[in-house]
Amino acid sequence: MTADILIVLSVLVVAILLLATEWISVDVVTLGLVAALTVTGILSPAEAFAGFGSEVIVILASIMVLAGAIVKAGAMDRLAETVHAFARGRKTPTLLALLSASAASSAFLSNTNVTAIMTPVALGAARKAGLSAGRVLMPVAYASILGGTCTIIGTSTNLAGSAMVERLGMEPFSLFEFLGIGLIVAAVGIFWLVFGARWVLPVQTAAEIDDRPEPRRFFTTLCLPDGSSAIGRPVREVKFEEFETDLLAVVRNGERFAPHHSRKLQAGDELIVRASREGLVKLKKSPHFTLEPDRHFSERFHDQKADVSLVEALIAPQSRLVGQTLKQLGFFDEFRGVVLAIYRRNLSRPARIENMRLRAGDVLLLQGPEEALGQLRGGKDLRVLVEVDETAMTRREGLLTLGALTAAIVAGALGLVPFSVAVLIAVLTVVLSGGITMEQAYRSIDWRLLILIGGMTSLGVAMETSGAARFLADHIVGVGSVFGPRAAMAAFALLAIVLTQPMSNAAAALTVMPVAVAAAPGLGLEPRTLAVLVTLSASLSFISPLEPACLLVYDLGRYRFMDYVRAGTPLTLISLVLLLILVPVFWP
């Protein structure tokens, strides 16, 4: 073992430990990794930073912007409504329709966005079909992950794998290179989720919601500013329904009263309400109501109103925020954001959000400076789900966005222009048409993920140039020569799946791929065959709820951690077997 190999392997072990423990944020770990490889002379500055300027980074950033614009346009909401109308109370067709729509959408959009949008319609369809929430929500999240394997833009892991194979001297993955195997894996996975997973999913009562899909209802407290038209009027005359809001209680001089329809509201009253996200946006704009958290903290933004934005953020299962209240946390001082409202499944009694003990799965409506909220992306405590835009795109702008993305996909698939250029032109088209602003485009990009992919790609190159990949590959080939190449393929795939637990899926693929490619000749296999196998294996890990799409339904479906292990392990094994059979067929 040479000194260079020892350095690279040491950096790799330290990086895995830091990513697993989350002591330091992933972007800091990644940049530190790049710095260490450069300072020690393993990589030149040009080699170290090449991953950050790759074509894949441009593609991924552009897709994030386009996906955000499509969600803003409401196109996915209309798809969900169509699925809801198609499901006419029949259990099997309902599940098939939901899972197929989820998988098809996530081939081009983030599986997190797809799951968030499909969740309300899934609950509505479950109610009509007499299915439990637990029976449909986890499968919808899993289907979105399955669908992401069909194209290289369906998941960041596929794009990261494409960048790595190019750095390793092979042709990058084409847009639809995974389509054949992705369709088969997705179809078999959906078949299992519909007909087989019923034995391992939790048994619950039917979803107790209305037939129509409902948005999340957030809890918050309202105040009545001077001059409010609600002051002096009975509750029945205040049109709360226009704000998609339910009045739950009136707090007056520290005493809580029921919202009787004849009770007159007074100056100084505080109103505990439950409202949809859109309703809260309307309340923020109304001169007759003030969100109590907004009034209390708004002056502390130091006149940064032009830079203030609104996001939904999910509390992760391992978050240190769990079990604490906003008061105990000093939330504003730590995160520079204000929690305007909190959504919690199955909570209907009046609750002041500052006194609620936070739980995993709670969704916070956060307001704060764009810079501060942007730093939450990829964090271990809060997962930003979506930016709340107070202005909606017109139907024409929405159709233009869909058309731009479709044209980019067609142009890239036909080879008319490089795909990176095609999606970049699509983004420029949407921006110049007024569908989104450049500021909104920048906020749509998960910069931490881009840094992670760029930095881990550099680590992969370091493993190749230092000989570390060859060193590990020689040992693996020695074992593989005893058990055969098929066993070695299974070992690489399992290693990628296991590493997705302490690391992100993309990081796991980028860590394993250089070793697999280096071992391929000694195992009598094509390097591209193993590169594809590792990439898809890292994308198809379902054994824990740590994937953001799975976190979204964690509380809604009343799941426990072991529910994911029971339901996800068979699906992971099914996917693994299919990959071991099909990858050598598609990539001999």
Assigned token pair, 401: 């966005």
Residue 75 has pLDDT above 80, yes or no: no
The type of residue at 491 is: A
pLDDT of 561 > 80? The answer is no
pLDDT value for 212? 39
Question: Contact at 8 Å (CB) between 277 and 218?
Answer: yes
Lowest mean pLDDT among 63-72, 165-174, 351-360: 63-72
- Residue 384, Cβ density class (10 Å: 0-12 exposed, 13-18 middle, ≥19 buried): buried
Task: Name the token pair of 306.
Answer: 């032009």
pLDDT of residue 317: 66
- The residue among 395 and 123 whose pLDDT is bigger is 123
Cβ pair 447, 377 in contact under 8 A? yes
Q: Given a cut of 80, is residue 223 above it in pLDDT? A: yes
User: Could you tell me which residues are beta bridge partners of residue 313?
Assistant: 364, 384
Cβ atoms of 219 and 270 within 8 Å: the answer is: no
Predicted confidence at residue 503, as pLDDT, reads 67
How far apart, in Å, are the Cα atoms of 392 and each of 247, 313, 402, 441? 26, 20, 15, 15
Query: pLDDT at position 185, please?
Result: 94
CA atoms within a 13 Å half-sphere pointing along the CA-CB vector of 352 = 14
* CA distance to 110, 186, 399, 572, per residue, from 102 (Å): 11, 11, 20, 18
Give the separation between CA 408 and CA 426, rounded to whole angstroms. Answer: 6
Pairing state of beta strands 270-276 and 245-252?
antiparallel
Give the residue from 225, 245, 227, 226 showing the smallest Cα distance to 235: 245
Please report, rounded to a whole number, the percentage of residues in the chain having pLDDT higher than 70.
83
As a whole number, mean pLDDT of residues 202-228 equals 66
The CA distance from 512 to 496, in Å, is 6
Cα separation, 107 vs 147, in Å, equals: 5
Instruction: Say if residues 292 and 221 touch (Cβ distance below 8 Å).
Output: yes
Phi, psi (deg, nearest 5) at residue 157: -65, -40
Enter the tokens of residue 66: 């386009």
Whole-number pLDDT of residue 546: 64
Three-state SS for 314-354 is EECCCCCCCCCCHHHHCHHHHHCCEEEEEECCCCCCCCCHH
Residue matched to tokens 């950033």: 61
DSSP string, 77-137: HHHHHHHHHH--S-HHHHHHHHHHHHHHHHTTS-HHHHHHHHHHHHHHHHHHHT-BHHHHH
**What pLDDT, on the 0 to 100 scale, is given for residue 22?**
62
The arithmetic mean of pLDDT across residues 417-422, rounded, is 85
Yes or no: domain 218-387 corresponds to CATH 3.30.70.1450: yes
Portion of the chain with pLDDT greater than 90, in percent: 8
In SS3 terms, 257-326 reads as ECCCCCCECCCCCEEEEEEEHHHHHHHHHCCCCEEHHHHHHHHHHCCCHHHEEEEEEEECCCCCCCCCCH
Cβ–Cβ under 8 Å, residues 326 and 399? no
Say how many CA atoms lie within 13 Å of 102 toward its Cβ. 35
Q: Is 90 exceeded by the pLDDT of residue 574?
A: yes
Average pLDDT of the residues in 269-298: 83
The set of residues, in sequence order, having a beta carbon less than 8 Å from that of 197 and lying 6+ positions away, is 139, 567, 570, 571
DSSP state of 176: T
Q: End-to-end distance of the chain based on CA atoms, in angstroms?
A: 33
Q: What is the number of other CB atoms lying within 10 angstroms of the CB of residue 370?
A: 17
251 phi and psi angles, rounded to 5 deg? -105, 120
Quickly state the pLDDT bin for 393 (edges 50, 70, 90): low
Q: Which of 53-57, 304-308, 346-350, 362-366 has the lowest mean pLDDT?
A: 304-308
> Chain-wide mean pLDDT for the chain?
80
Position 229 scores a pLDDT of: 87
> Stretch 231-249: mean pLDDT, rounded?
87
pLDDT at 214 over 60: no
SS (H, E, C) 402-452: HHHHHHHHHHHHHCCCCHHHHHHHHHHHHHHCCCCCHHHHHHHCCHHHHHH
Q: How many residues does the chain have?
A: 588
Question: CA 309, CA 387: separation in Å to the nearest integer?
Answer: 8
Q: Helix, strand or coil for residue 558?
A: coil
Query: What is residue 210's predicted lDDT score, i.e. its pLDDT?
Result: 38
SS3 at position 23: coil
Q: Is the dihedral of CA 189, 194, 200, 201 positive or negative?
A: positive
Beta pairing partners, 277: none
The pLDDT, as a whole number, for residue 390 is: 55
Instruction: Output 236 or 376, whichever has higher pLDDT.
Output: 236
Which of 84-93, 339-348, 358-367, 415-424 is predicted with the least confidence, judged by mean pLDDT?
Answer: 84-93
Ranges of each domain in the chain: 218-387, 395-444
| pTM of the predicted structure, to 2 decimals | 0.64
The least confident of 188-192, 205-209, 288-292, 502-506 is: 205-209
Alpha helices in 130-285 (DSSP H): 133-147, 156-167, 179-191, 277-285
Residue pLDDT, tens place only, 469-499: 777 777 766 665 667 778 888 888 888 888 7
pLDDT at 207 (0 to 100): 41
Question: Which CA distances in Å does 243 have to 143, 266, 281, 288, 523?
Answer: 34, 20, 9, 12, 65
| Residue 430 reports pLDDT greater than 70 | yes
Q: Which residue has the tokens 């300072």?
A: 39
120-142: average pLDDT? 78
pLDDT at 183: 93
Q: What is the pLDDT of residue 581?
A: 92
On the question of pLDDT at 587 being above 70, the answer is: yes
Given a cut of 80, whether residue 363 has pLDDT beyond it is yes
Q: Are 55 and 420 in contact (CB under 8 A)?
A: yes
Higher pLDDT, 70 or 103: 103
The answer for residues whose C-beta is within 8 angstroms of residue 551's C-beta and 6 or more apart is 314, 316, 317, 361, 383, 545
- Calpha distance 157→508 (Å, rounded): 9
Instruction: Work out whether the CA dihedral 227, 228, 233, 234 comes out positive or negative.
Output: negative
CA distance 232 to 403: 52
